[in-house]
Structure formats: C-alpha cells, structure tokens
C-alpha cells in the first residue's frame, strides 16, 4: 500500500506544478524547469519505495520490461490518474477558477511530439533506473526529470508536452486541453512507452 | 557546537539569497533558481556536520522521524531564526533600506500553498537524507534544494514561497511580508513538516 | 549493433532538440538549457551501452585516447551523421518547413569558438567518462551536457555553438547554417576533439 | 606540471565564459547560469588532477586547511592569473574590442558582497572536496559551481560577483571593472577564502 500512496503523492505534486506554472507563468523557461524539477525531486523522494513512475506510460514500459507486476501496474495507473484529477481540482481552486483557453494542436504533429518524447522518457527511465549497467548511479532522478524539461522546451508549443496520461487527465480537467483531444495523449504516450519497453529488451538481451 | 554554527551559516546564506534576489530581481526565473541553489550548496557543505536543515519545519520533521534530539532541535531553531534575522539586516543594508511592499496574500490559499510545499520539502528531506533505501545517493542536496525551486515557481505568487519559518522571519524583518501575516508561515510550515514526519513513519514502518 | 542504435537514438534527440528550440524559441536561455539537458539525459540513458558520444568529434577524441576501436569509430560516425540528418527532416516537418535565415559568421572567430569549446567538451568527456581518477562518479552526464550549455551561452552568437559535426550536418540540413560554411564545423570541431585527445594523453601518462 | 596546466585550462574557460556572457548577454539569468556551469564542468574535468581550484582564494583556503603545498599554491596562483589574462585577451578579440563601461561599485557594499560569497565558496569547497564526511559524494562540482551561480544572482549587481582574484584580473583587463578597484577583489576575496579555511579548521577539529 505504501507504494501506491507514494505514486499518488509524487503524481499529485507533478501535475499540481504543471497546472500552477502553466496557468501562472505561461510560456517561457519557468514551466519546463519547474515541472522537470518536480518530477526529479519526487523520484528521489519515492523511488526507493515505488520506483517513482508517476506516469502510466512509464509504468507500462516498466511492466513490459518485466520489473512491475500486473497488479501493481493497475494500481499505479489508478493512483496516478486519481492524483492527476486531485491536483487539477486544487489548481482550479488556487488559481480561482481561471479562464484558460484549450490548446488547438495539429493532430499529426502532436501525436509525433508526444510519442517521440514519451519514448525518450521511458527509454531514459528503463536505462537509468532498471538496467544493470547503471546500478549505483545517483543521477537517475536528474536524468528522468530533465528529459521532461527537454521535451517541454522542444515540443511544448506543439502538443503541450505532457508525455504522461496522468498529466493529460490533469490538464484536461483544468481546461488547458480539450476533452476531445485526450485520446492524443493516451494513444501516443502509451505507444511511446510501449516502444521504449520493446527497444530496451532488444538492446539489452542479457539484462532480464 | 559546530553543528549549530553550521545551521547558522547555512540559514544565513539561504535567507540572504532570498532577500537579495527578491528585492533585486523581483519575479521571474532568478529568485527560485538562486534560492534553490543556495539551499542545495549549503546542504552539501554542512550536511555531514549538522544534517543541513536550515529550516525549523525540517528540524521538526526530522525530530518526529527520530533522527534529531530534542536539545538539538531547540538549538537548531534558535540558530535558524537568529540567522534569518541577521540575514535580513544585512540585506537591508546591502539594498540601502529599500522601499518594499508587503504581500497581501489570500489567507486560505496561502495556508494551503505553504502547507503543501513544506510537506513536500520535508517529505523529500526525510526520504533522501534519512531513509535506509537512499543511503549512499549523492543527490540529496539537489533534491532538497530543487524542491524549494519547484515550490517557489508553483506557488510563489500566492504565498511568497517560504516553506520555512526562518525564511518567514527574515522576509518579515525585511518588510516583504507583513508582521500580521507571520502566523501563516509558522502554522502552515510547521504543520506541513509535522505531517511529513508522520507520513514518513507510516510509509516506512521498518526504517527506524 | 546495440551500441550503434544507441548512438543513433541519442544523436537524434540531441539534434532534434537543437532544431526545435532554436527555430521555436530563438536566442535566450531556452535553447542552451534544453540542448545541454538533451545531451545529459541521453548520456545517462546510453552511456553504459555505447559510451554516449553522440558526436563525431568526441568519438575521435575517445579513439585517440584508445578507448574506441577503429571499426566502432567509423560506425559511430555513420550513425551520428544519419541521426543528425533524420532529426533535421523531422524538425522541418514539425516546424512546417520554416523560413529560417542561415547565420553569417565571422570565419576566424567562428573557427576559434568551435575549436575552443569542442576542445573543452572532449576534454571533459575524456576526464569524466574514461579516466581512472573519476571512476564511480555519477556526474559524467551532467558535466558533459552542461559543457555544451556553457559553450552555447558563451559563443552561440558567434558560431552557432555546434561543437559537434553531427549537429553541424543537422543545422545545415535545416537551413540554420549555410552549406558553404559546414567546413568550419568539420575542421574546427574535429581539430578541437583531436587536441583534447592529445592533451589528455599528455596530462595522464599513466592512465592507458 | 600536469596540475598547473589543468589549473590554467580550467581558469581560462571560467574567465572566458565570464567575459563572453557578461559582454554578450549583459544582466539576467544567462551569465550566472553559464559561469556556474563553466566552473562545475571544469571541476569535474580537472578535480582528480589538480583539485580544481581555478581561484587563488580557494587555493589560499585549501592551503590553510593543509591540503595544498606552498610550492603548489604559488604555482597555482601564477597559472590562474595567467589564465585570467589570456582569457581576457581572447574575449576582447572575439567581441571585437567592445566598448564596455566599468562598474562603479559602492565600496563598502562591494567588499561585503565579495567577502561573504567568497567565504561561502571556499567553505563549500573545503567541505565538499576535502572533508572526510563527504568522501565519495559525486556532487562536489555541482555544489561549488552553483555557489558561484547563487552569489552572482544575489550580489552580482553590487560587486560584479567575481569571488575570485583571477576573475577580477580578467574582468579588469577586459575593462568591465576599473583598474583602481581591483584591490576590492584582492582584499575581500582573499579575506573570505582565508576565513573559510579558519572556520573549517574550527568546525572540523578531527579532520586533518
């Protein structure tokens, strides 16, 4: 049970930081730096208990790689989505029910952007947090958090830069993304995570 | 005695950086980046001597978790508050007695903002600096410092982003926060720290 | 074969981030922070498989230092250049065939800028990732990635701040740099990398 | 001899980055981030050979702490100052003999600013790079580099934020600081470094 609570706490602070900085600071250097840092610190805080996924696409990748049981994967998904929703409602209260405009992304480009960087994110996670070759390295949290920072800078203006279905649920509940577009994140992010799981197995045949 | 001096030095530079950058640079990316970095570097410098708290709410959390004696906790609080005051007066001299306007926060939202991120801060501290599962990890300072960076970006415009009663004393002495509002920080920050101590014990029943 | 794929993936995300942020955000703090972070995270993800070069000049330096076979060096160069081209074409699609103006650099200054910081980059790589004296240090990725960040801030307005022939191929294919100027990067970057290899051997005579 | 070359290389890139970003980007987030990163990466690259001082005030502190011979201290000072001058002349060439205005600092405040943060810098160095209690920690470079980042944000507008006599020589040669003011940096920075050496010995009586 402790690990599900840890997943809830970490995802809550990640999505809360997304909402507070995107609504508060808009575009620029602040949201990606804050969001990447939020993910990083929550990974350092909770990684030793839950693995520090905070992201259904990462959980899918870790499940494919064989380091997460099916029961845990389902419970993680539930905890992550509930945390994304909870964070969204706290953001709406803290920002006084802001008037925000949902993005109007170009579908093909948004799908590519989300798939590419969710692949990168899960590829980094699997290599820095589950591979034998990087055991003992302290920088897994920095690497994972700053992959999201990089992706948010690179393609944030194209897809919003979620790379995470729980974040997608949160920004949809906040009104930053339209309900009709949530499938973009679900499809592209889970596909990117699954692809990373398969690529990891291909590249590391001896690391079971 | 060395550890009390280390707490004074670290808290002094933390609060000094708060005042110099908030008064000098105002809103934007600079104060959170500078303040998070100040905390990080002082944790790396002093953590091996005092634990690197620099924050009465963190000291409370570590005391609840059972890794700080009651005598030390009281002496740390004294050193931290004195350092916050000393830093404030040096800032006022360096900035030539600036004319600053005290924030006028929304009380309920400021209490929530301070409690949430002081909880996050103490939760990160307990997990990265006192848990068995993260022993040997080099990134405790980065994780703790950048939790403050994250919080300052996320809710700095709502509560000022102190997450630390010694910082609250300092910004009150500088005039950045009104004397009548200091209870917000004392109540919310200590509550957040205490909650983190209790949650840590709940999540790590075998790590005494 | 796995290591060539890893070099392709890492170089792809590096050059993709270069193009997306330079075309999307222009000058300022974002491109260097994003690009340095992209390199850092890909080094943490792939370093244990391929060494995490993602740069023909780094591969040359590592080959001179004696930690990369000639066959691997050639295959790495091919993978890196192909990845640079692939990233360029994806950027052009994502940015809808943008109208960009190629830089018009001062030749002598651009050569010096590229040679100096490619030397610094390869000097950092050899010391943090291949020297006996730093074995076990977790921060090789941070050090290498943030060398590019430093160089991009310091001389980005003079040469574009490639420090990497694969990046040079990519920004040329995107139109950010003129075809007639690509020799600047090839000559200066490979010379800087080779110089770092020789300096490393001079400074570390006992570390074969 | 290798360690003197390493000190020259590291100080050169530090002062070169100072000049290129201060003259190129002016105030704001870029120079402190670039300068702190330059110091960090050069510490990771050269620390295992020379200790990675790149700063006469740090060398003084390490000498007082008893971890640097007198002969090395003198040779380091020579290498550092020569590197500062060399970097200045390359900056002037790269920036086409720029017209810059020397700072006109308030003397008392500039002395305090330089002394305080050079103390902090040397205090961090001694604790993270020479203390028994932090042996094996990977983050010495991050801690030291980001102390300069913090100080540059906190007091850069008051003293220029050198915290380093070799940087002071460099910015004087570039015209960013007046020749008549160089004593400020020499006096305050060496005093700050010496104070840190004495405080370290006081706080760590058993760590010889």
pLDDT at site D41: 98
Contact D33 C113 (CB under 8 A): no
Q: How many CA atoms lie within 13 A of B87 on its CB side?
A: 29
Inter-CA distances, A52 with A10, D45, D134, D140, Å: 7, 31, 26, 26
Q: Is B27 on the interface with D (CB under 8 A)?
A: no
- By Cβ distance, the residue of A29, A112, A124 closest to C41 is A124
- DSSP-derived letter for residue B52 is -
pLDDT tens-place string over residues D174-198: 999 999 999 999 999 999 999 999 9
Q: State residue C130's pLDDT score.
A: 94
Q: What is the 3-state secondary structure (H, E, C) of chain A?
A: CHHHHHHHHHHHHHHHHHHHHHHHHCCCCHHHHHHHHHHHHHHHHHHHHHCCCCCHHHHHHHHHHCCCCHHHHHHHHHHHHHHHHHHHHHHHHHCCCCCCCCCCCCHHHHHHHHHHHHHHHHHHHHHHHCCHHHCCCCCHHHHHHHHHHHHHHHHHHHHCCCCCHHHHHHHHHHCCCCHHHHHHHHHHHHHHHHHHHHHHHHHCCCCC
Does the distance separating the beta carbons of A48 and B134 come in below 8 Å? yes
- For the cut 90, the answer to whether the pLDDT of residue C41 exceeds it is yes
Q: Any chain A CB within 8 A of the CB of D30?
A: no
* pLDDT for the residue A135: 87
Q: How confident is the model at residue A208 (pLDDT cuts 50, 70, 90)?
A: confident
In chain D, residues with a C-beta closer than 8 Å to the C-beta of B6 are: 203
The answer to whether residue D208 is domain-embedded is: no
Q: Is the torsion defined by CA of D178, D181, D187, D192 positive or negative?
A: negative
A17/B153 CB distance under 8 A: yes
DSSP C66: T
Q: Is D203 on the interface with B (CB under 8 A)?
A: yes
pLDDT band at D136 (very low <50, low <70, confident <90, very high): confident
Query: Which residue of C lies nearest to B137 if distances are taken between CA atoms?
Result: C138
Residue B39 belongs to a domain: yes
pLDDT of residue A157: 96
| pLDDT of amino acid A193 | 98
Three-state SS string over chain D comes to: CHHHHHHHHHHHHHHHHHHHHHHHHCCCCHHHHHHHHHHHHHHHHHHHHHCCCCCHHHHHHHHHHCCCCHHHHHHHHHHHHHHHHHHHHHHHHHCCCCCCCCCCCCHHHHHHHHHHHHHHHHHHHHHHHCCHHHCCCCCHHHHHHHHHHHHHHHHHHHHCCCCCHHHHHHHHHCCCCCHHHHHHHHHHHHHHHHHHHHHHHHHCCCCC
- Dist. CA B3–CA B48, nearest whole Å: 9
Q: What is the pLDDT of residue D27?
A: 85
Å between D74 CA and nearest CA of chain A: 36
**D94, D134, D137: which to substitute to probe chain C, counting the most C Cβ within 10 Å?**
D94
Report how far apart, in Å, the C-alpha atoms of A177 and of each of A79, D77, D195 are. 21, 58, 55
Nearest to D6 among C29, C134, C203 (CB): C203
Q: Which of A138, A187, A185 is nearest to A163 (CA)?
A: A185
Calculate mean pLDDT across residues D155-167.
Answer: 97
Instruction: Count how many residues are written for chain A.
Output: 208
Residue in chain C nearest A117 by alpha carbon? C13
In chain D, what residues touch A29 (CB-CB under 8 Å)?
29
Give the separation between CA C141 and CA C80, rounded to whole angstroms.
Answer: 18
pLDDT band of residue D208 (cuts 50, 70, 90) is confident
**Tens of each residue's pLDDT in chain B, 208 residues:** 899 999 999 999 999 999 999 998 888 999 999 999 999 999 999 999 999 999 999 999 999 999 999 999 999 999 999 999 999 999 999 999 999 999 999 999 999 999 999 999 999 999 999 999 898 888 999 999 999 999 999 999 999 999 999 999 999 999 999 999 999 999 999 999 999 999 999 999 888 7
Per-residue model confidence as pLDDT tens digits over A72-88: 999 999 999 999 999 99
With beta carbons under 8 A apart, name residues in chain C contacting B29: 29
Worst-scoring range by mean pLDDT, A46-55, A148-157, D18-27, D38-47? D18-27
D104 shares contact with chain A (CB less than 8 Å): no
Domain holding A67, by residue range, is 2-203
Residue found by looking up tokens 């209870």 in the block: B183
What mean pLDDT value characterizes chain A? 96
Asked if A163 has any chain C CB less than 8 Å from its own CB, the reply is no
pLDDT of residue A206: 86
Rounded distance between C-alpha atoms, residue B149 and residue A30, angstroms: 10
Residue C34 resides in a domain: yes
Compute the distance between CA of residue A204 and CA of residue A208 in angstroms, rounded to an integer: 8
The angle formed by the CA atoms of residues A56, A62 and A66, to the nearest 5 degrees, is 140
Residue C25 has pLDDT above 90, yes or no: no
Q: For residue D74, is pLDDT > 90?
A: yes
How would you label A81-112 residue by residue, b for 16+ Cβ within 10 Å and e otherwise? bbbbbbbbebbbebbeeeebebeebeeebbbb
Tens-place pLDDT, residues A73-132: 999 999 999 999 999 999 999 999 999 999 999 999 999 999 999 999 999 999 999 999
pLDDT digits 0-9 by tens, C101-140? 999 999 999 999 999 999 999 999 999 999 998 988 889 9
SS3 C104: coil
Tell me if the pTM is above 0.80.
Answer: yes
C138 touches chain B (CB under 8 A): yes
- Residue D53 has what pLDDT? 98
Residue A165 lies in a domain: yes
- Identify the pLDDT of residue B206: 85
Which residue's entry shows tokens 């930053």? A176
Alpha carbon distance C28, C33 (integer Å):
9
Q: For residue B67, give both structure tokens.
A: 């890794």
Buried b (16+ CB within 10 A) or exposed e, A156-193: bbbbbbbbbbbbbbbbbbbbbbeeebbebbeebbbbbb
Is D75 a member of any domain? yes
Q: Answer whether D109 touches B (CB < 8 Å).
A: yes
Name the CA dihedral angle for A91, A186, C42, B128, rounded to a multiple of 10 degrees: 40
pLDDT at C174 over 90: yes
Residues with Cβ within 8 Å of residue C98, at least 6 apart in sequence: C23, C92
Residue A208 maps to a domain? no
Nearest to B37 among D128, D133, D146 (CB): D146
A199 occurs within a structural domain? yes
Instruction: Give pLDDT, residue A205.
Output: 87
Is residue C44, in this structure, part of any structural domain at all?
A: yes
DSSP, res C94: H
Which pLDDT score is estimated for A137?
87
Under DSSP, the state recorded for B207 is -
HSE (CB half, 13 Å, CA atoms) of C5? Answer: 10
How many domains in chain D? Answer: 1
pLDDT at residue number A14: 98
Report pLDDT digits (tens) over C57-97.
999 999 999 999 999 999 999 999 999 999 999 999 999 99
Report the CATH number at residue A139.
1.20.1080.10
Q: Give the per-residue pLDDT at D173.
A: 97
Alpha-carbon distance C60 to nearest alpha carbon in chain B (angstroms): 31
pLDDT at residue D148, rounded to an integer: 98
Whether C29 contacts chain B with CB within 8 A = yes
């Amino acid at each position: 049970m402790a690990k599900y609570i840890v997943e809830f706490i970490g995802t809550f602070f990640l999505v809360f930081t997304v909402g507070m900085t995107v609504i508060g600071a808009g575009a620029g250097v602040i949201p990606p730096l804050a969001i990447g840092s939020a993910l990083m610190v929550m990974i350092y805080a909770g990684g030793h208990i839950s693995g520090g996924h905070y992201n259904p696409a990462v959980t899918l990748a870790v499940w494919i790689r064989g380091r997460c049981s099916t029961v845990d994967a389902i419970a993680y998904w539930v905890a992550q989505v509930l945390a994304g929703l909870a964070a969204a409602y706290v953001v709406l209260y803290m920002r006084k029910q802001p008037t925000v405009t949902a993005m109007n992304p170009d579908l093909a480009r948004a799908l590519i952007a989300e798939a590419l960087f969710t692949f990168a994110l899960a590829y980094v996670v699997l290599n820095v947090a589950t591979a034998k070759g990087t055991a003992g390295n302290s920088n897994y949290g920095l690497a994972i958090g700053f992959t999201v920072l990089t992706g948010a800078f690179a393609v944030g203006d194209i897809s919003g830069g979620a790379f995470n279905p729980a974040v997608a649920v949160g920004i949809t509940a906040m009104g930053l993304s339209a309900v009709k577009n949530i499938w973009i994140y679900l499809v592209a992010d889970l596909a990117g995570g699954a692809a990373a799981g398969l690529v990891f197995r291909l590249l590391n045949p001896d690391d079971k």
